[in-house]
């Protein structure tokens, strides 16, 4: 059976995403893949057990180790990221846990970007405090000193392609060349393979919070990591051992969400740029962070690395601090909700100082540029003019 993605003209992202690679169960000819909601798979002999576990026969044994829905989703993401293989996990944090358990051990050294999703930093700090991992944070905007931070124990470097929440863009080609033989792990949750494909710039592994754009409908909690066959084999073994495997139905939902990813990324990139320009002119907004704006420090880099747009995430500072943010959230609760997630079909707002980056001290947050007036906006699929009208209304001074 020819798989849809093997067809000669199926190389554009939109075609790859829309068709997917599903070709497992053509006996029933379902037009959508079934959900394999099963704990285990029956075997007919011990010889078959040996053949499947030994990789000589295609098959599944136990859903924690593998399931057709997991494989369908992970291999579709791998194809879009131009990676050899992938593994889907219970959450984005589950993917990071599996990667770290596969690639580092006590006494090893990890380099990590200074500004990362708060829980990523929290997990690294936990492993440093409790398990003897050494972690050095560096400034992604200043790569000159990076080679001097590498030691013989350095096993991994972790960055975000577009950072949460300040939308810094990582110069992946320069990073890869500065790192030499040290493998680069890129969290491309904000980037998605539609905007940037880190493997093509030399990264070893890419991971995503699938809970965000790859699924895109605010109804899944999952993660995925893609890379070479050999690395993914080790990471899959750790995902199974630590039990951070995904659920088949969520993999199925994520596969469905992935079908429209290119369309959604194109749309949110256009709307986010329009809204960012609008906010930049607004008198109550002191600063807007969006790499598509000429005022963003990484604008030139974004033009080079993100030619298809900068995505749907932006952040802005309100001069009035926390109370101004609270007033905005209360005013807009029914139209642009305060929801501590992102990449839903609807636009949502979040408050990094109180959610994703709450685990840092106030001094650390201030040092990172995450102030008490910072609002993170996740642009959805609504009309840009409606969003501008809602934001104007929410930002109107209250008497
Ligand atoms: C950039 C980024 N990476 C990773 C994660 C963690 O993903 P999850 O919540 O699916 O565990 C998040 C969650 O918000 C995120 O924003």
Q: Answer whether 188 contacts ligand 1 (Cβ < 6 A).
A: no
Residue 188 confidence (pLDDT): 98
Q: Are 46 and 54 in contact (CB under 8 A)?
A: no
In terms of DSSP bridges, do strands 205-209 and 313-318 run parallel, antiparallel, or are they unpaired? Answer: unpaired
Separation CA 287–CA 290 (nearest Å): 10
- Residue 5 banded pLDDT, cuts 50, 70, 90: very low
CATH level 3 topology of 4-258: 3.40.640
Label residue 327 exposed, middle or buried (CB < 10 Å: 0-12, 13-18, 19+). Answer: middle
- Residue 1 banded pLDDT, cuts 50, 70, 90: very low
Q: What torsion do the CA atoms of 12, 15, 16, 18 make, to the nearest 10 degrees?
A: 150
Interval between CA 2 and ligand 1 midpoint (Å)? 35
From atom 16 of ligand 1, which residue's Cα is the shortest distance away? 117
From atom 10 of ligand 1, which residue's Cα is the shortest distance away? 92
The better pLDDT of the pair 21, 301 is held by 301
Which architecture does CATH list for 261-395?
A: Alpha-Beta Complex (3.90)
On the question of pLDDT at 4 being above 50, the answer is no
Residue 320 confidence (pLDDT): 92
- Residue 24 banded pLDDT, cuts 50, 70, 90: low
Q: Answer whether 89 contacts ligand 1 (Cβ < 6 A).
A: no
Q: Answer whether 209 contacts ligand 1 (Cβ < 6 A).
A: yes
User: What is the value of pTM for the model shown?
Assistant: 0.95
- The number of the ligand 1 atom at minimal distance from the alpha carbon of 222 is 10
pLDDT tens track for 200-251:
999 999 999 999 999 999 999 999 999 999 999 999 999 999 999 999 999 9
Every domain of the chain and the residues it spans: 4-258, 261-395
- Residue 398 banded pLDDT, cuts 50, 70, 90: confident
Q: What is the mean pLDDT of residues 86-111?
A: 98
């Amino acid at each position: 059976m020819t798989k849809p993605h093997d067809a000669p003209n199926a190389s554009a992202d939109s075609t790859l995403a829309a068709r997917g690679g599903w070709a497992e169960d053509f006996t029933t000819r379902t037009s959508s893949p079934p959900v394999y909601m099963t704990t285990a798979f029956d075997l007919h002999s011990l010889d078959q057990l040996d053949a499947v576990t030994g990789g000589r026969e295609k098959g599944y044994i136990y859903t924690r180790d593998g399931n057709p829905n997991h494989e369908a989703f992970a291999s579709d993401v791998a194809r879009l990221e131009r990676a050899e293989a992938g593994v889907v996990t219970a959450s984005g944090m589950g993917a990071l846990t599996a990667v770290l358990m596969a690639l580092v051990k006590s006494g090893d050294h990890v380099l990590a970007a200074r500004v990362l999703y708060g829980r990523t930093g929290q997990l690294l700090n936990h492993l440093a405090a409790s398990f003897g991992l050494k972690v050095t944070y560096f400034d992604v905007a200043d790569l000159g000193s990076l080679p001097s931070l590498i030691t013989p124990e350095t096993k991994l470097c972790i960055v975000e392609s577009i950072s949460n929440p300040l939308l810094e863009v990582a110069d992946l080609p320069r990073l890869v060349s500065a790192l030499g033989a040290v493998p680069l792990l890129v969290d491309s949750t904000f980037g998605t393979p539609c905007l940037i494909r880190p493997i093509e710039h030399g990264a070893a592994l890419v991971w995503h919070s699938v809970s965000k754009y790859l699924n895109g409908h605010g109804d899944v909690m999952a993660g995925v990591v893609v890379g070479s066959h050999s690395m993914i084999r080790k990471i899959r073994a750790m995902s199974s051992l630590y039990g951070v495997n995904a659920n088949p139905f969520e993999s199925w939902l994520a596969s469905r969400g992935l079908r429209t990813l290119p369309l959604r990324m194109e749309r949110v990139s256009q709307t986010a740029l329009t809204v960012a320009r609008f906010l930049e002119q607004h008198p109550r907004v002191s600063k807007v962070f969006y790499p598509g704006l000429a005022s963003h420090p990484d604008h030139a880099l974004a033009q080079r690395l993100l030619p298809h747009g900068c995505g749907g995430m932006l952040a802005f500072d309100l001069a009035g601090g926390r109370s101004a943010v609270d007033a905005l959230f209360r005013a807009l609760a029914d139209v642009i909700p305060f929801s501590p997630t992102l990449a839903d079909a609807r636009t949502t707002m979040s408050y990094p100082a109180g959610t994703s980056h709450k685990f840092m001290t106030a001094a650390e947050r201030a040092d990172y540029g995450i102030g008490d007036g910072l609002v993170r906006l996740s642009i959805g699929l609504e009309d840009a003019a409606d969003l501008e009208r809602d934001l104007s209304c929410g930002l109107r001074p209250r008497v």
